[in-house]
Structure 1
Amino acid sequence: MMTCRTALWALCSLLFVLALPCAVGADALSWSAPADPKTCPVGDTSVWAEYEGGADCIRYFWAGDLDDAPVALVRLYGDRTRHLRSEPEEIPGNTVRDQHDHAARWAVELGMPVVVIARPGTYGSSGDHRRRRSIEEFRAIDAALDRIVERHRIGSVILSGHSGGATAAAALLTFGRKDVACAILTSGAFDLLERARLLREHSGRVPRPGVDLTGVVGPYDPLDHIAGIVPNPDRLILVIGNSRDSVTPFALQREFANALAAAGHNVRLMEHSAIGPRYHDLRGSIGYTATRDCLATGN
């Protein structure tokens, strides 16, 4: 049942979206733009994120009562390579208004503030999406989250990512973040070089040892950095996938979950129905359900 506070969040979120100026709300967001602090939008939809090795303008879109929130859901999308050759105006959901509306739907459904962070090179964030799964991508997201948490005075976060977004969320854990109350990793890519070997072999492609499917040499693999995750017995890590997944093999997701458990972390591995023929995108509202599981366990 929706509480009065939740109803107020919903109303405020809808009013915020409706109040966006047409030029701000409807214009297409840039993709693969260079990092330039002079062109990074001023306001509460972007941060200038400086990190070891670089800096990026990272866009974020939020809804709900975010300022001083005790906990907020932070969502990271999966890879968006299918849009790299498209004009920004042709990409679905590629406006500030669309992204805020997406966050608002989640905030209303869950009754909590929601933040969507655009990965480098996508939805207005500077960077090169072809360099995804490099350490620079993950450092940029991590630094952006630091700035967002600081700006809005957020107490803790629930990290939620799908596919490449799950890999990014796992990477943030390995950077030693202490503000993660729970993590939801659906259909994530782990053991990246083994995954690349398996998928190249399956498709008859030439082997490329040491090179990720993105072309990145020596990608940052969360599986290799579990030692960096801060111990916290109260933090639940949900690893959710489908055993028939042909994009991110479930065996490698299980390998990651087992490694987390061996390191003493509170992890739960779950199988869930998915959409064929790739069985990569999970059916139903598992994201909502998993977030509620986090909240119900006090995380």
Structure 2
Amino acid sequence: MLGLWLGAASLFLSPQLETPMPPRLMPNEAQRPAPLRIPRGRQTFDAREALNGSTSSRRRCTDVPDAYWVPVRGGGACIRTYPAGNPRAGGTMLVYLPGDVLLRGRGGVRLIAGSYARRSPADIRQEMAGWSRDGGTPAIFLARPGLYGSSGNHGARRRLDEVRLVDGALDRIKARYRVSRFILAGHSGGGHLVAALLDRRRDIAGAFISSGLVSAAEVMRAYQKRRGPDGGPVEGPAAVYDPIAHVGGIPKPGPDIFVLSDPGDRVVPFLSQRHYVERLRSAGLHPTHILLRGEGRTRHLLAEPLKAGAALYARGEDAAAISAALRAMAPLPPVPEEVRN
């Protein structure tokens, strides 16, 4: 009887009390992928789709604006992009790779960051138009598999297939716009992809990585230790593609590499980022490591300085000028000597 009363009472709840719970998956709950949606204009992205994954086909992909079908072993994915500016043959293009949106709550519950479902294709196009103007060069947002209109499974992030899909999408972008070089910028999980591409491509002029999972196996071990036995499953260190293990394959003299970090980052351990920079230097490369203050309580968000730095690089500024501009933009309080060295 009480259950019937509660069911009837719910019909009279005010709109403020009817806000639906965000979609989530329990630790052992299977994903339920569905056919890829195609949001346009101000239509927002679907958090449920990002959580469960989506499917597509080569034919379906032809209906998706500015998208490319990229095959990989055992299948493929429709990778959507959001271009801005006017590319010219032989020119350079800015490429942005966004961070992860999949979160793990208490007990390993999986959910999607609330900001994801508030974004739309129009928002991304506006963002890329501004970035293109700032850099004086064409820019493009490359939607990672399973996110922002691309098919695939964001739950399988950080794996070799994700690297291969993004690598293949860059090949198709290069062929379509006839550009010769890329300036890659990736935040967090997008930074993992930028680092993973450095030894695979020879057309990267500059690489900007902020708060990146560049020492992915080390980060997975840190996550396992932090969450403990009751924190839910974490990708095993051996399951992820680890960019730091492939530093030796980066061509020399190599692209200009900028790594942006906050020593107080509570999401991706700072030491894992510093170890990556040290490995680059040991391999004879010359990365620029810029210490900044990330936004928010976690001090992890450095996407805006990342894009600003890449835009300055596109305009021809050198490492010293870029470092100074970004430190003025997101100043870090004095850092202890043992962290700085």
Change in 2 beyond 3 A, CA 1:286/1:59: closer
Greater shift, 47-56 or 101-110, is seen at 47-56
- Using the size of structure 1 for normalisation, the TM-score is 0.80
Change in 2 beyond 3 A, CA 1:128/1:182: same
Name 2:100's counterpart in structure 1.
79
For the residues of structure 1 that align with 2:67 and 2:231, how far apart are their CA atoms? 40
Q: CA RMSD in A?
A: 2.9
For the residues of structure 1 that align with 2:72 and 2:284, how far apart are their CA atoms? 29
- Using the size of structure 2 for normalisation, the TM-score is 0.71
Query: Secondary structure, in 3 states, of the residue corresponding to 1:167?
Result: helix
For the residues of structure 2 that align with 1:81 and 1:40, how far apart are their CA atoms? 24
Query: Secondary structure, in 3 states, of the residue corresponding to 1:183?
Result: strand
- Report the identity percentage: 31
Question: Does the aligned pair in 2 maintain the 1:238–1:269 contact within 8 Å?
Answer: yes
The one of 262, 265, 287 aligned to 1:245: 265
Change in 2 beyond 3 A, CA 1:92/1:29: closer
The one of 141, 145, 149 aligned to 2:170: 145
Change in 2 beyond 3 A, CA 1:215/1:135: same
The one of 88, 103, 124 aligned to 2:128: 103
For the residues of structure 1 that align with 2:270 and 2:100, how far apart are their CA atoms? 18
Structure 1 stretches lacking a partner, 5+ long: 1-22
Name 1:231's counterpart in structure 2.
252
Name 1:185's counterpart in structure 2.
209
Change in 2 beyond 3 A, CA 1:51/1:216: farther
Query: Secondary structure, in 3 states, of the residue corresponding to 1:285?
Result: helix
For the residues of structure 1 that align with 2:296 and 2:65, how far apart are their CA atoms? 39
Structure 2 stretches lacking a partner, 5+ long: 1-38, 105-109, 320-341
Name 2:182's counterpart in structure 1.
157
Aligned residues: 270
Name 1:47's counterpart in structure 2.
68
Change in 2 beyond 3 A, CA 1:158/1:242: same
CA shift digits 1:137-195 (9 cap, x unpaired): 110000011001111101100010000000011111122x0110000000001322221
The offset of 1:265, in angstroms, is: 1.7
Question: Does the aligned pair in 1 maintain the 2:262–2:270 contact within 8 Å?
Answer: yes
Matches for 1:203-282 after TM superposition, within 5 Å: 203-205=227-229, 213-214=234-235, 218-233=239-254, 235-282=255-302
Query: Secondary structure, in 3 states, of the residue corresponding to 1:193?
Result: helix
Q: Which amino acid aligns with 2:102?
A: T
Compare CA radii of gyration and give the structure with the larger one: 2
For the residues of structure 2 that align with 1:63 and 1:196, how far apart are their CA atoms? 35
